[in-house]
Amino acid sequence: MKVIRLHDLEFEMFIAPEQINETVGRLALAINHDYQGRNPILLIVLNGAFVFAADLVRRLSIPLQMDFVKLRSYLGTASTGSIHEHFLWESSLKDRHIIIVEDIIDTGHTLHHLVGKVAAEGPASIETACLLLKPAARQYPDPVKYCGMEMPNDFVVGYGLDYDGLGREIAGIYKKI
């Protein structure tokens, strides 16, 4: 089995690129179906979600807009419990249909923080699309309508996800050994 090393940790293959591709296709199909005629704004959470979002938007066939927020809650391999906002969106979210695009939902703290901020702008609706979700780590109840895969409470890298800055460019998803 392929093992990769980033800083002081080793990771093994967890989700192959083909399986990610299939999952993104399934999410895109659902969003294409649900958002016809609604011109949503996809609010992409940097840094981690940039690869997922790039693949997802290229499979969407509905008119849409994109905007970006940059938040950070993770240091090393653990959620810190405090959210740092580097920047938020530029567009007006008022009366718009918003789809938050996240790479992974762990405790749910980042999503909860963001949903609160977005809701204060008076959007027409807010839903969330994420590639991965860790049900055992979840501490906040915000619904996730478009979830790619549920996974155990492991630390993962690749496909946009990093361990202290490394691993984002890896095509598959690897989990800490």
Residues near ligand XMP, by CB under 6 A: 45, 48, 73-74, 79, 102-110, 155-157, 161-162
Choose from Mg ion, ligand XMP, none: what does 55 bind? Cβ within 5-8 Å by kind. none
**CA-to-CA separations, 133 to 19, 24, 64, 154, in angstroms, rounded:** 16, 14, 25, 11
48 binds Mg ion (CB under 5 A): yes
When the beta carbons of 38 and 112 are compared against ligand XMP, the nearer one is 112
DSSP 40: P
**CA-to-CA separations, 106 to 57, 135, 155, in angstroms, rounded:** 23, 8, 10
* Catalytic annotation present for 154: no
Number of residues forming the site for Mg ion (CB under 5 A): 2
When the beta carbons of 10 and 95 are compared against ligand XMP, the nearer one is 10
Q: Rounded to the nearest 5 degrees, what angle is found at the Cα of 163, between the Cα atoms of 118 and 113?
A: 15
The one catalytic residue in 106, 142, 154, 162 is 106
Binding residues for Mg ion, per CB under 5 A?
A: 48, 103
